A and B are shown apart, each in its own frame.
Chain A
Amino acid sequence: TTYSYKFLGLSLSASREGAWYKSAFGRGTIIGVLDTGVWPESPSFNDRGMPAVPKKWRGICQEGQNFNSSNCNRKLIGARFFTKGHRVATYTPDGGREYVSPRDSHGHGTHTSSTAGGATVPMASVLGNAAGVAQGMAPGAHIAVYKVCWLNGCYSSDILAAMDVAIRDGVDILSLSLGGFPIPLFDDNIAIGSFRAVEHGILVVCAAGNNGPIQSSVANEAPWITTIGASTLDRRFPGIVQMGNGKYLYGESLYPGNHLKRAGKELELVYVTSENSGSEYCFKGSLPRAKVRGKIVVCDRGVNGRAEKGEVVKEAGGAAMILANTVINQEENSIDVHVLPATLIGFKESVRLKAYINSTRRPTARIVFGGTVIGKSRAPAVAQFSARGPSYSNPSILKPDVIAPGVNIIAAWPQNLGPTGLPEDSRRVNFTIMSGTSMACPHGSGIAALIRSAHPKWSPAAIKSAVMTTAEVVDHSGKPIMDGDKPAGVFAIGAGHVNPERAIDPGLIYDIRPEDYVMHLCTLGYTKSEILTITHRNVSCREVLKMNRGFSLNYPSISVIFKHGTRSKMIKRRVTNVGSPNSIYKVEVMAPKEVNVRVKPQRLIFTHINQSLSYKVWFTSRKRTEKGKMSFAQGQLTWVNSNNSFNRVKSPFSVTW
């Protein structure tokens, strides 16, 4: 990416300090990416300066259509494709449009894998916008690509096959920017495959899904998965609309304004709403040429693709497009490359624009393109589309775990597609812009790879703990991370926004062994057969719970549920010292007014590294459960190193009545 690593504080410094240096840029770590494949010729997969392939690697570079074994190198060390599930389910094969090989026909996999571990590429940009040095989060890490997603979707039989092989190949991190809706863990193939991966010491990082801001929309929510939501950057691409009445509307655009004179010219404005043909959404064939030719066409967002609307306007003879958010999208600003001059405006602006159109017989406008602006806006904020908790199948675990950049991310792009991804777009670029929790996920995987390189013996749970307990709940201006026009809650941001610099050196970690997850499933009341399905372990929960009375999963965040008249709940946690041998940590609690929180002990005194100490937290409700009404509160519990305030180990908690 050309900017998100800087936004996250990852940089090359003259003093050779910081997370990249402490982790050797992720060298020696292998990130397995399950996605739409890879475009190996992209400069992001150049292996200049990369170390040799790790000895433990047992993967292959699978040959196929337009892909041979020489397409792999010391950066892209493995590539496979899995098509059997897809092939038998797709009755009308899309002949010719898709490479039957690890080669990426779609672009998504090239984008995500380069975001996680892409090499350094100077002078990257999207048509001149967002120019800079492109790098993945772990530019020294090796990448192994497992193509499981095809134009028709990603079948769980193929995903499971890829996970099966990736475990044997020897990946350290698995990155899955895919999923569905939340489903019970015993029906969730990703959850089941991930449990085995974690048993093999592999950290599984997944996208939370894009069904936000709907409550309980978070997917990939198993406790052993690291679930990543999406945040915004402080980078903007102004594409301001100057209406004929002289007033301005803020919009954003990636159109290279200096290339087309029409972009800056005042033109007639049209919003076609009649005909009952979806013309307000600019559906294919819905725009009468006579009405839109030479004009700026307003298209409502939704139903069909955003870039596709631009192509429809262009085909109908329109000169430019204003893409207008609807009430569903609010002020969400995921922008795209378009085939004509275009800008995206928020919902409030779209109401003002339509009011202006209705106020005059001949509405006009011009779009003024403002290039790339960095650092002028508040960020990170929660992406509107980012899936939200509480977890549908398991509310006792707070999900998503963290958020990471996922809006307007510029990363590698294949040469078989234009920057819009549309078949009609004949332009060719090495980078393009995309938004989604798919883009947030590889930021998390790349950061996990850095931690893995810095601490090769840490368990997947320890790496996840480091990412979570060091995450930020304030934005770059020091104010709370926002979710629209209000401060974000824990069900939007989890533990907060990833901070790689602090995650490399967390001070304390919450470790979890695979058997702890089994006990956790027992405490949730899962049946013997369900636990066998999820974990492949034949356990007697009665025996397990008898030997572990009062067990709480040692999760880095806390979810307290008061139900059936319960007013008090005790939670146990155990932290392990991974910082200085002699460290004293004091607890700080931020409790909501509805809950009394008591922690014992108040201080943890460590005398050596890897020493584990336990503490207990009592949550006492000050209010009664209201029948038929669900309510939430939140707070945080932080262990602060008395000698070194850099080590602040923070756990968010949610309370549900």
Chain B
Amino acid sequence: SSSSTTTYIVQLNPQGVTSSSFASKPSWHLSFLQQTMSSEEDASSRLLYSYHSAMEGFAAQLSELELESLKMLPDVISIRPDHRLQIH
């Protein structure tokens, strides 16, 4: 299934975690994937990074369908595809 996925950077509202019951930020981040993934696949296998300092959010591999349902979730403020940059 990973062949039909693309990497996205998902940005979350930093206030969101305070109203949630998750013990840690990575588990809060993972919960967004668990809510959107339809397959039996382990959500953690799609999570590339969990960000806390430079940004509140995570990078994950998502299918088109998962992307659309993730956009609907409260506390998701922005989703951007991963960009390739280069040395100057």
Contact = CB atoms under 8 A, between A and B. Distances in A.
B88 A189 contact: no
A155 B7 CA distance: 10
A164 B84 contact: no
B52 interface: yes
A352 interface: no
Given A85-B59, A189-B83, A532-B77, A178 B53 contact: no
Interface string A135-178: 00000000000000100111111011101110110000000011
A336 interface: no
Contacts, number: 122
B87 to A, nearest CB: 5
B49 A164 contact: yes
Given A210-B88, A532-B13, A533-B11, A164 B83 contact: no
Interface residues of A, number: 49
B51 A161 contact: yes
Contacts of B86: 149, 153-154, 178-180
Given A88-B61, A180-B83, A210-B88, A164 B54 contact: yes
A42 interface: no
Given A85-B7, A85-B82, A168-B53, A533 B59 contact: no
A535 to B, nearest CB: 10
A157 B87 contact: no
A200 B48 CA distance: 24
B49 A149 contact: no
A89 interface: yes
B54 A156 contact: no
B52 A153 contact: no
A598 interface: no
B54 A192 contact: yes
Contacts of B2: 88
Interface in B28-55: 48-49, 51-55
B9 A157 contact: yes
Contact of B54 (A36, A154, A167, A208): A167
A164 to B, nearest CB: 4
Interface in B53-86: 53-56, 59, 61, 77-78, 80, 82-86
Contacts of A180: 83-86
Given A88-B48, A178-B85, A207-B88, A157 B53 contact: no
B84 A153 contact: yes
B11 A161 contact: no
A192 B84 CA distance: 16
Interface in B1-33: 2, 7, 9, 11, 13-15
A652 interface: no
B88 A178 contact: yes
Nearest to A108: B87
A406 to B, nearest CB: 9
A538 B55 CA distance: 14
Nearest to A436: B88
B9 A189 contact: yes
A573 interface: no
B7 A186 contact: no
Nearest to A158: B49
Nearest to A174: B54
Interface of A: 35-36, 84-85, 88-89, 106, 108, 149, 152-157, 159-161, 163-165, 167-168, 177-180, 186-187, 189-190, 192-193, 196-197, 200, 207-210, 436-438, 441, 529, 532-533, 536, 538
Interface of B: 2, 7, 9, 11, 13-15, 48-49, 51-56, 59, 61, 77-78, 80, 82-88
28 contacts: A85-B59, A89-B7, A89-B82, A154-B84, A155-B85, A156-B9, A156-B84, A156-B85, A157-B48, A160-B49, A164-B52, A164-B54, A164-B55, A168-B53, A178-B86, A180-B83, A180-B84, A192-B54, A192-B55, A196-B53, A207-B88, A208-B88, A210-B88, A437-B88, A529-B77, A533-B11, A536-B55, A538-B13
Given A156-B9, A157-B7, 20 more contacts: A84-B48, A85-B49, A153-B86, A154-B84, A155-B85, A156-B83, A157-B48, A157-B59, A160-B9, A160-B49, A160-B51, A165-B53, A179-B88, A180-B86, A192-B11, A207-B88, A210-B88, A436-B87, A532-B77, A533-B77
